[in-house]
Amino acid sequence: MARRNQHSREELQGLAIQAVRELVVEKGLEKLSVRKVADRIGYTAGMLYHVFANLDDLILHANAATLDQLLGDMDSAADSSPARALHQMASAYLALAREQTALWQMVFMHRMQNAAPVPDWYQQKTAALFDRVERQMAGLATDHDPAQIHLAARTLWSGVHGIAVLAAQDKLVVAGDVDEQAMLESLLEHYLNSWAGE
Amino acid sequence: MARRNQHSREELQGLAIQAVRELVVEKGLEKLSVRKVADRIGYTAGMLYHVFANLDDLILHANAATLDQLLGDMDSAADSSPARALHQMASAYLALAREQTALWQMVFMHRMQNAAPVPDWYQQKTAALFDRVERQMAGLATDHDPAQIHLAARTLWSGVHGIAVLAAQDKLVVAGDVDEQAMLESLLEHYLNSWAGE
DNA sequence: ACCTGAACACCGTTCAAGT
DNA sequence: ACCTGAACACCGTTCAAGT
């Protein structure tokens, strides 16, 4: 058999992406396979290679949906004062790691095979994330030059990311005796205190 | 054939661990396989299951060597003043991520299969790392209670870890326009400034 | 044009059988 | 007791061939 034509190319992509997200939530990233994705949507594994370049490409597209969701959450915090906005953005970032651990892990822990470069469209999405932070930092300390703001934004957000890593790990590995939300507040308060000048 | 008996059980373990570390440095974690490890040391894959529980167990043992090296580097910084010791420890942590990226990645990015729990002996090694940090933090602010010191140590070190993640990523994915050493100094200076009270 | 299904080159893991 | 080698149940990926 062949030529079923029940779905357009775009519908097929959407179905596959949805299946990836479901499977990863149900069984975890390490159990994900092209064959299982194909099974779930009622096609063969070979078909997916007509619609995606390979498994990495498929995962990247599934991650794009998660990143868009995160960017949306972070944007809805942008109206508050810079300090409040940064707190809310960090909380949104941590919430994803805690509540959607598997999806968060797929975004931030998945490494490309063959050390293949991450495509441009994807890198732009992750760069957009740092931009949101930088913009708020700029509003917080108007006397700092752009290079200082760039460095501080990346420093602060690396810290937030590190806490999210710990939160995701603890949820998966061992229930830690840590309050990640408290760590987040400690980081933001003390770092910004000193950086923005009290 | 069988019963070659050229190596003791302990020698076999050492050979396998060494082969894992070499292979991961040469080809990366995603290319590592039980069969390749066995090939490199001149045995069959089956043999490794008489000496290790499975691939995760083998990787954990290889990671133990890296963690011991890191703990050693961090300990040799313990003589300085608390603030200087923390800077040196953080630099040692970052140096591992930058210079031994593949080994660092295997320690901090490898997830267990089947969501199996990380064994006790391994968790104690990673806990030892936080202990080193906590001890220095205690020396820095004698008026803070143990719970505050515990929280601050984990917060600061999550930040250091986040910067190391970024450094490893940039080295593998795309040469970033970031100076991670400067980020480290920014984090330590500002966080400790405010936390320890100016 | 769209999709299949078989094939290729791999995996981790187990375990009866050889010495 | 020590280790092999074959087997099992999987992988990602390709592509000639069917409709």
Q: Is the dihedral of CA B113, B119, B125, B126 positive or negative?
A: positive
Whether residue B137 contacts residue B152, with contact meaning beta carbons closer than 8 Å, is answered with yes
Q: Is A181 exposed, middle or buried (0-12, 13-18, 19+ CB in 10 A)?
A: middle
Which pLDDT score, from 0 to 100, does residue B170 have?
76
Instruction: Count how many pairs of residues, chain A against chain B, have C-beta atoms within 8 Å.
Output: 115
Q: Extract long-range pairs of A86-91: CB within 8 Å, 24+ residues apart.
A: A86/A133, A86/A136, A86/A137, A86/A140, A86/A156, A86/A188, A86/A192, A87/A184, A87/A185, A87/A188, A89/A132, A89/A133, A89/A136, A90/A160, A90/A184, A90/A188, A91/A181, A91/A184
Assigned token pair, A29: 């990233």
The pLDDT tens digits for B153-196 are 999 999 999 999 999 987 665 545 679 999 999 999 999 999 99
Residues of A in contact with B131 (CB under 8 A): none
C-alpha B20/C-alpha B18 separation (Å) is 5
Q: Given a cut of 70, is residue B68 above it in pLDDT?
A: yes
Whether residue A125 contacts residue A64, with contact meaning beta carbons closer than 8 Å, is answered with yes
In chain A (198 residues long), the average pLDDT of successive 10-residue segments reads: 80 98 96 98 98 97 96 92 97 96 93 80 90 95 93 97 92 65 98 89
* Interface with A, mutate which of B190, B192, B193, B198 (most A CBs under 10 A): B190
Which pLDDT score, from 0 to 100, does residue A175 have?
47
Mean pLDDT highest for which of B50-54, B106-110, B116-120?
B50-54
Note the CA–C1' distance, A82 to C16, in angstroms: 69
* Residue B60: CB atoms within 10 Å: 22
Q: Which residue has the tokens 């000193």?
A: A194
* Residue B35: CB atoms within 10 Å: 11
Per-residue HEC secondary structure of chain A comes to CCCCCCCCHHHHHHHHHHHHHHHHHHHCHHHCCHHHHHHHHCCCHHHHHHHCCCHHHHHHHHHHHHHHHHHHHHHCCCCCCHHHHHHHHHHHHHHHHHHCHHHHHHHHHCCCHHHCCCCHHHHHHHHHHHHHHHHHHHHHCCCCCHHHHHHHHHHHHHHHHHHHHHHHHHHHCCCCCCCHHHHHHHHHHHHHHHHCCC
To the nearest whole Å, the CA of A3 is away from the closest chain B CA by: 36
Domains of chain A in sequence order:
80-195 (1.10.357.10)
To the nearest whole Å, the CA of B112 is away from the closest chain A CA by: 9
The pLDDT tens digits for B2-60 are 667 789 999 999 999 999 999 999 999 999 999 999 999 999 999 999 999 999 999 99
Whether residue A142 contacts residue A162, with contact meaning beta carbons closer than 8 Å, is answered with no
Which pLDDT score, from 0 to 100, does residue A176 have?
53
The pLDDT tens digits for A175-195 are 456 799 999 999 999 999 999
Model pTM? 0.94
Which pLDDT score, from 0 to 100, does residue B3 have?
65
Which pLDDT score, from 0 to 100, does residue A180 have?
95
The CA-atom distances, in angstroms, between B97 and each of A164, B90, B101, B109, B197 are 19, 11, 5, 11, 31
- Amino acid identity of residue A155, one-letter, is T
Q: Is the C-beta atom of A29 closer than 7 angstroms to strand D?
A: no
Q: Which of B105, B16, B115 is nearest to B61 (CA)?
A: B16
Q: Do B183 and A118 touch (CB under 8 A)?
A: no
Percent of chain A at pLDDT exceeding 70: 93
Q: Given a cut of 90, is residue B198 above it in pLDDT?
A: no
The pLDDT tens digits for B119-163 are 999 989 989 999 999 999 999 998 999 999 999 999 999 999 999
Per-residue HEC secondary structure of chain B comes to CCCCCCCCHHHHHHHHHHHHHHHHHHHCHHHCCHHHHHHHHCCCHHHHCCCCCCHHHHHHHHHHHHHHHHHHHHHCCCCCCHHHHHHHHHHHHHHHHHHCHHHHHHHHHCCCHHHCCCCHHHHHHHHHHHHHHHHHHHHHCCCCCHHHHHHHHHHHHHHHHHHHHHHHHHHHCCCCCCCHHHHHHHHHHHHHHHHCCC
* Interface with B, mutate which of A130, A155, A170 (most B CBs under 10 A): A155
Q: Given B29, B111, B190, which is nearest A195 (Cβ)?
A: B190
